[in-house]
Amino acid sequence: MSVVRYIADRVAVMYMGQIVEMGPGAEVLERPRHPYTQALIAAVPIPRGPRRGRLVLTGDVPSPANPPPGCRFHTRCPFAVDACRANQPPLEPLAATPDSPHHIACLRKNELQ
């Protein structure tokens, strides 16, 4: 992940074959908004410096051959609600303007910081 920060202008994070977060590399790595991106970044070891809090994912990883209905991440997401189990979230801009460079696929995107 630290290498990505220096070589990538844009980053796309995928979970089970679908993009869950995409945007400017520095912004996605410094301010991840999707719970899966947050868990990925929290798992990166820091050789020197303060430890960051780990977001430990629970639940079973679903089969990619038979993904669950709704959001593919809902079986492991600590923020999932009933709507997540029924509806697949579209990849949408975070900001109110459609030309926003940071996109996230989460039904609760406006609630999660």
Tell me if 113 is assigned to some domain.
no
| Residue ranges making up the domain that contains 56 | 2-104
Tell me if 87 is assigned to some domain.
yes
Tell me if 109 is assigned to some domain.
no
Residues 56-73, buried b or exposed e (16+ Cβ, 10 A)? Answer: ebeeeeeeeeebeebbbb
The winner for highest mean pLDDT among 5-9, 86-90, 95-99 is 86-90
Whether residue 52 has pLDDT greater than 70: no
| Digit-coded pLDDT (tens) for 54-74 | 677 888 888 999 999 999 999
**pLDDT value of position 35:** 93
Percent of the chain exceeding pLDDT 70 equals: 90
**pLDDT value of position 53:** 66
Tell me if 77 is assigned to some domain.
yes
Total number of domains in the chain: 1
Tell me if 111 is assigned to some domain.
no
pTM listed for this prediction: 0.86
Tell me if 44 is assigned to some domain.
yes
